[in-house]
Amino acid sequence: MYRTAMTDAAPTPMMAQYFTLKAEAPDCLLFYRMGDFFELFFDDARTASAILDIALTARGEHAGQPVPMCGVPAHSAEAYLARLIKAGQRVAIAEQVESPAEAKARGSKSLVARAVVRVVTAGTLTEEALLDSRAANWLVAIGEAAGGLGLAAVDVSTGRFELAAITGATLDAELARLNPAEIVVAEGSGFDGLARPREGFDSARAETRLKTLYGVATLDGFGSFSRPELAAAGGLLAYLDHAGKGTLPFLQPPERRLAGGTMMIDAATRESLELTRTAQGNRAGSLLDIVDRTVTGAGARMLGADLAAPLVDRAAIAARLGLVRFFAEDQTTRDAMRASLRALPDVGRALGRLAAGRGSPRDLGQLRDGLSAARSLRGALAASAALSPLLAELLPLLDGHGALIDQLAVALVPSPPIDAAQGGYIAEGYDAALDELRATGGDGRRAIAALEARYRESTGIGALKIKHNGVLGYHIEVPARHADALMAADSGFTHRQTLAGVVRFNAPDLHDVASRVTQAGAHALAAEAAHLEALIALAMESAAPIAATANALARLDVAAGLAARAIEGGWCLPAFADHPCLEIEGGRHPVVEASLARAGDRFVANDCKLSPERRLWLVTGPNMGGKSTFLRQNALIAVLAQAGSYVPAARARLGLVDRLFSRVGASDNLARGRSTFMVEMVETAAILAQATPQSLVILDEVGRGTSTYDGLAIAWAVVEAVHETNRCRCLFATHYHELTRLAERLDGLSLHHVRAREWKGDLVLLHEISDGPADRSYGLAVAKLAGLPPPVIARAKSVLAKLEAGRAATGGLAAGLDELPLFAAAAAAEEEKVDALRDALDAIDVDALSPREALELIYRLKALAAE
């Protein structure tokens, strides 16, 4: 549209500048700075006004048509940016890069120069107002090279940087782990994401760029990165260059994620288990939400990462658990440390804003306060270092910033402001020249106040005031009814401006004093800005150690929070075995237990014992009996244990799980043209293709989405494959009672059921796991419990009786179906019988019956029910 518009008619200088800037970011909304506002034009204005619900106006004409326009105040732009980014938009910020005075110096009609200084995208945010303090904000790039795939991920707000070699099969799992805010891919790659020029994904250029960035001759110190990983890193850096207009954010040294370094959990399993967010995408109600007792945003982010990627290194798990155990056993130290952590600022994100060129004096103050508190915390924990190897590793990372802390302490006021433009953040006594400028400005302001009093006395105008604005500077303002006295040629005042109700004047002595105040103020602001720049540069010299301190504080917060959660819930310290087992006593589902507790109910704990000899449990029982909860809780216990947490059980011992699979529940995927059954089969196929003897698999109702014979056959074959081929630990819940016959043929299969009882015609679900198969499915009882109408239940009983009789006689399910009456007739007969019996019961006068009459009545009612 913009190119066409330019050819229709010669644009004004401002529109020509706008079109040039828009061409730099054609896929973004352009925030064009005009004074105190960011303005949007043409289609950008239409889009933004609809999203932000602000007025769409017009400004002048272009190509014979009014130019659509809307705008937002620059001082509150972050709130509008947040809404636009949440709506999926990307925003280019075009700022004024010179003052009006500088533009005028180039010529009286020169336009103020503007430039796109930043592209705001969902994956490159650093501002507090635009981020969730308790969630990481990942930007991901996918690269291809040498026939392989690589993934690069960075959280720009903290600088955390990861590289990994992946495959097409593991890509979805990695993306599900990270839940990225934005994905960048090479043009023509075929992957979903924002397409960027392919040259940015060159692995050789990326290697050179990384060496330069970190000032090293080789990357071997960070890891042996493959060409696909470097290609992904190149694409990521190129995109960050584009978004920051040449200014890269702080990036910690890249951490290489090794295949098999953490528990592999695919996207379907994450959604099924709701590890960090529910199926609806919410944090509330997830495992992370229920476990999280951290007191800092950084701790919450680290806990989310831990649960998303449980460890498979036994020593690393033991180190985390050892630190949690230390805090669990020492309540005094735990409570004191958590109180200290609660008062800490978010050091990592403050550092990220400063490195990205978006920092403020307050961010420097947060570094000062956070690093100082970390140093104090080390002193408080020093005596306990011997009690935890991980604590001994973390404590040195909390110190080492003494010179920076001292410098910031003397340079900054106690509570620095966010806005540097107004000054006032450099402490008195830090710079004598700055103090003198401030004193000059202060003396000038006192002189102006004295002038105001003198002018009132000399003119007799009590309403006279000396004011200041950005156009006139300092000036004298009087009500219009008093202006005539100052208009006289010999008054000593010079007329400047007449407005409705007031008239404004200048005077020579006011001009002299105002010049001194203005010059002193401008020089003071410039001096503070220079100090701010120097202090930021000083902090950036220690960026890597500061990031390490922030990570150490987060790890302490995670460990103390997990300890608090363990004490609160009565959780146990898990133990690990050298062989694949899962031995849980009194295991509970933490999310379901918390939900029941809020309702005043108690969760029924259950045991689970998977071993090499009994590695596959076949669990039968009624719907709503708790089979799915039982399956999930054991998977969650494995996740928690390997993430380094206590677990909701009386006792837990397990062999390390390399891969976790959960197929519990399924839904349509209409976007891919997949039915519920197809989704179920795709997920089951992935499990059978990837599960190893060290894996843990939970499967629920495999085969239920098709005909009975097909479903039973599929379930039968899957059980055999899991047992014979994958040979993994598996909990398999089913309604196909025929599968219990497999216990006679499969050595590692063990039968169990969820207990239920019928009492006075109603089903009572006990939610307890017992040995052996269920005696029946209780399907009709569950249907009744769900509220199916009595005629439907009665009809189902009739059909079931015929089916069971036919199967017993001939082995065929269809046997006996032809003898069934039509539904309407059967329902009417059943209803008639029910009504006759009800009528007889209603006619009884219980209090008037003798024992003999009562006995005779029972015989009559029995005969009536049999008719």
**Domain at 2-120: CATH architecture:** 3-Layer(aba) Sandwich (3.40)
What is the spatial distance between Cα 274 and Cα 204, in angstroms, rounded to a whole number?
40
pLDDT value at residue 817:
46
Q: Do domains 292-401+550-567 and 432-535 have the same CATH topology?
A: yes
Query: Residue 788: which pLDDT band, with cuts at 50, 70 and 90?
Result: confident
pLDDT value at residue 809:
59
DSSP 3-state assignment of 115?
Answer: strand
Instruction: Kindly report, residue by residue over 745-761, the tens digit of the pLDDT.
Output: 999 999 999 987 766 66
Global pTM? 0.86
Query: DSSP class of residue 517?
Result: H
pLDDT value at residue 807:
61
Instruction: Kindly report, residue by residue over 649-708, the tens digit of the pLDDT.
Output: 999 999 999 999 999 865 554 445 567 788 888 889 999 999 999 999 999 988 877 777
Asked if residue 109 has pLDDT above 60, the reply is yes
Instruction: Kindly report, residue by residue over 179-213, the tens digit of the pLDDT.
Output: 999 999 999 999 999 999 999 999 999 999 999 99
What is the spatial distance between Cα 678 and Cα 684, in angstroms, rounded to a whole number?
10
Q: Which residues of 787-820 are buried (b: 16+ CB within 10 A; e: fewer)?
A: eeeebeebbeebeeebbeebeeeeeeeebbeeee
Tokens 């694949």, residue located: 580
Please list the residues that pair with 139 across neighbouring strands: 154, 182
Cβ of 360: how many Cβ atoms within 10 Å?
20
Query: DSSP class of residue 36?
Result: T
pLDDT value at residue 12:
83
pLDDT value at residue 671:
45
pLDDT value at residue 774:
78
Per the model's pLDDT, the better-predicted residue between 411 and 422 turns out to be: 411
Mean pLDDT along residues 464-492 = 89
Per the model's pLDDT, the better-predicted residue between 582 and 779 turns out to be: 582
Q: Which residues of 427-450 are buried (b: 16+ CB within 10 A; e: fewer)?
A: beeebeebbebbebbeebbebbee
* 624 annotated as a binding-site residue: yes
Lowest mean pLDDT among 13-17, 400-404, 779-783, 826-830: 826-830
pLDDT value at residue 838:
66
Q: Which residues of 602-614 are buried (b: 16+ CB within 10 A; e: fewer)?
A: ebbbbebebbeee
Tokens 């890891």, residue located: 223
Instruction: Kindly report, residue by residue over 608-617, the tens digit of the pLDDT.
Output: 999 999 999 9
What is the spatial distance between Cα 462 and Cα 456, in angstroms, rounded to a whole number?
5
Closest CA relative to residue 458, chosen from 507, 499, 502, 501: 507
> Which residues does 235 contact at the CB level (< 8 Å), separation at least 6?
141, 142, 143, 152, 184, 185, 186, 196, 200, 201, 206
pLDDT value at residue 406:
97
Query: Residue 175: which pLDDT band, with cuts at 50, 70 and 90?
Result: very high
Kindly report the length of the chain. 867
* 272 annotated as a binding-site residue: no
What is the spatial distance between Cα 174 and Cα 309, in angstroms, rounded to a whole number?
10
What is the spatial distance between Cα 427 and Cα 415, in angstroms, rounded to a whole number?
10
Query: DSSP class of residue 1?
Result: -
Does domain 292-401+550-567 fall into CATH 1.10.1420.10? Answer: yes
Please list the residues that pair with 699 across neighbouring strands: 663, 732
Asked if residue 830 has pLDDT above 60, the reply is no
Asked if residue 475 has pLDDT above 90, the reply is yes
Bridge-based pairing of strands 659-663 and 651-655 is: unpaired
What single string gives the DSSP state of each residue in 623-676? TTSSHHHHHHHHHHHHHHHHHT--BSSSEEEEEPPSEEEEE-----BGGGTB-H
* 625 annotated as a binding-site residue: yes
Where are the strands (E) in 74-137, listed by range? 91-96, 114-120
One of 3.40.640.10, 3.40.50.300, 3.40.50.800, 3.40.50.2300 is the CATH number of 572-785, namely 3.40.50.300
CA–chain centroid gap for 281, Å, is: 9
User: For residues 543, 547, 549 and 554, what is the CA-based torsion angle, rounded to 10 degrees?
Assistant: 160
What is the spatial distance between Cα 213 and Cα 207, in angstroms, rounded to a whole number?
10
What is the spatial distance between Cα 356 and Cα 244, in angstroms, rounded to a whole number?
8
Termini Cα distance of the chain:
83
Looking at domain 132-259, its CATH class is alpha beta
> Which residues does 380 contact at the CB level (< 8 Å), separation at least 6?
333, 336, 337, 340
Tokens 């000036």, residue located: 475
pLDDT value at residue 435:
92
Does domain 432-535 fall into CATH 1.20.1050.10? Answer: no
Query: Residue 839: which pLDDT band, with cuts at 50, 70 and 90?
Result: low
> What percent of the chain shows pLDDT beyond 90?
69
pLDDT value at residue 829:
47
pLDDT value at residue 864:
66
Mean pLDDT along residues 810-837 = 48
> What percent of the chain shows pLDDT beyond 70?
92
Closest CA relative to residue 222, chosen from 189, 196, 258: 258
What is the spatial distance between Cα 76 and Cα 78, in angstroms, rounded to a whole number?
6
* 627 annotated as a binding-site residue: yes
Where are the strands (E) in 10-158, listed by range? 29-34, 37-41, 57-62, 65-73, 91-96, 114-120, 138-145, 148-155
Domain boundaries, given as residue ranges, for the chain: 2-120, 132-259, 292-401+550-567, 432-535, 572-785, 789-861
> Which residues does 16 contact at the CB level (< 8 Å), separation at least 6?
6
